[in-house]
Amino acid sequence: MRLRLCRRGALKHPELPAQRQLERQAAQLASVRSRLLRRARIARRRRVLDLGCGWGAVTGDLRRRAGGIVVAGDRHLRAAATAGAPAVCADAHALPFRRAAFDLVFTHFVWLWLRDPAHVLAEIDRVLAPGGALVAVEADFGGLIAHPPEVDLSAVWQEALASAGADPFIGRTLPPRFASAGYRVETSMVSPGELGGDLALDLLQGLPLSEEAARRVRAAAAHRGPAFVYLPVLGILAEKPRPL
């Protein structure tokens, strides 16, 4: 496979979350990711793309599981330094790969940041071989459930993500979107017991917050009584059919 490599350190990353923050999030969702990747038969996959890899928080896990090469693709190139995989400067809206270059494409909290998800799906479909798998771990921040009210940050989430240019409701749209593109789709929801209670708070780090929103986040973080917080996280396996 021919790769268009970028010079390490050539890009600035002012909007990329901190490496440790992404590593914490990846660790919290490890069991979900493991189930999805087993269902996707990653051990048999020879060409895997970690699309939107960021600092490579998940790339190393993919490399340990895959049966072949794993390529880390992101506009912000740091995966090579952190995960040891071949790294490529890759805008998801214009992937620099030939047709059917991969047999598994993995995304982790990527779709909410895409300006044109339909176009990105068309690009993934182009580079994914027939019989290949698209595996996505994505949250639906519009579906946050929390009690008591002082720990309910639903409105904060929606305001912060919209201000940052993201779609807090993207999670619920992905299974029907993938199915409409002709993929065979399996969707599972992460159970509350699998998520650390601080995941929703941790994910807010680095997002633009108004003074009132910041005050509410501090109050939620300081809450010490019983509470229930559930951020819906979807695990999606979408398989591309082979031609008849």
Residue-wise pLDDT for 88-143, tens only, equals 889 999 999 999 999 999 999 999 999 999 999 999 999 999 999 999 999 998 89
Asked if residue 151 belongs to a domain, the reply is no
- Answer left, alpha or beta for residue 60, where phi above 0 means left and psi between -120 and 50 means alpha: alpha
Q: What is the pTM of this model?
A: 0.88
- Cα angle 140, 142, 143 (rounded to 5 degrees) comes to 75
The predicted structure's pLDDT at residue 8: 32
Asked if residue 202 belongs to a domain, the reply is no
The predicted structure's pLDDT at residue 198: 65
> What CATH number has the domain bearing residue 29?
3.40.50.150
Domain with 120 in it: 19-139+169-195+230-239
Asked if residue 164 belongs to a domain, the reply is no
**Overall domain count for the chain:** 1
The predicted structure's pLDDT at residue 68: 96
| Model confidence pLDDT, tens digit, residues 138-149 | 999 889 888 999
Per-residue pLDDT of the chain (244 residues; tens, 9 = 90+): 433 333 333 333 336 677 777 888 888 889 899 999 999 999 999 999 999 998 889 999 999 999 999 999 998 875 555 667 888 889 999 999 999 999 999 999 999 999 999 999 999 999 999 999 999 999 998 898 889 998 888 888 888 888 888 999 999 999 999 999 999 999 999 877 666 556 666 677 778 888 888 888 888 888 888 988 888 999 999 999 998 7
Residue among 189, 86, 186 nearest 135 (CA): 186
- For the chain, the C-alpha Rg in angstroms (whole number) is 18
Q: Which two tokens stand for residue 61?
A: 């896990």
The predicted structure's pLDDT at residue 199: 65
- Contact (CB, 8 A) for 91 and 110: no
How far is it, in rounded angstroms, from Cα 105 to Cα 169? 22
The predicted structure's pLDDT at residue 191: 77
Asked if residue 2 belongs to a domain, the reply is no
Amino acid at 72: A
The predicted structure's pLDDT at residue 140: 94
DSSP secondary structure string for all residues of the chain: -------TT-S--TTSPPHHHHHHHHHHTHHHHHHHHHHTTGGG-SEEEEET-TTTTTHHHHHHH-SSEEEEEESS--HHHHH-S-EEE-BTTB--S-TT-EEEEEEES-GGG-S-HHHHHHHHHHHEEEEEEEEEEEE-GGG-EEESGGG--HHHHHHHHHHTT--TTHHHHHHHHHHHTT-EEEEEE--GGGS-TTHHHHHTTTS---HHHHHHHHHHHH--S--EEE--EEEEEEEPPPP-
Asked if residue 224 belongs to a domain, the reply is no
The predicted structure's pLDDT at residue 37: 98
Asked if residue 120 belongs to a domain, the reply is yes
Q: Crossing angle for the helix pair 117-127 and 170-180, nearest 10 degrees?
A: 50
Asked if residue 146 belongs to a domain, the reply is no
The predicted structure's pLDDT at residue 194: 61
Asked if residue 207 belongs to a domain, the reply is no
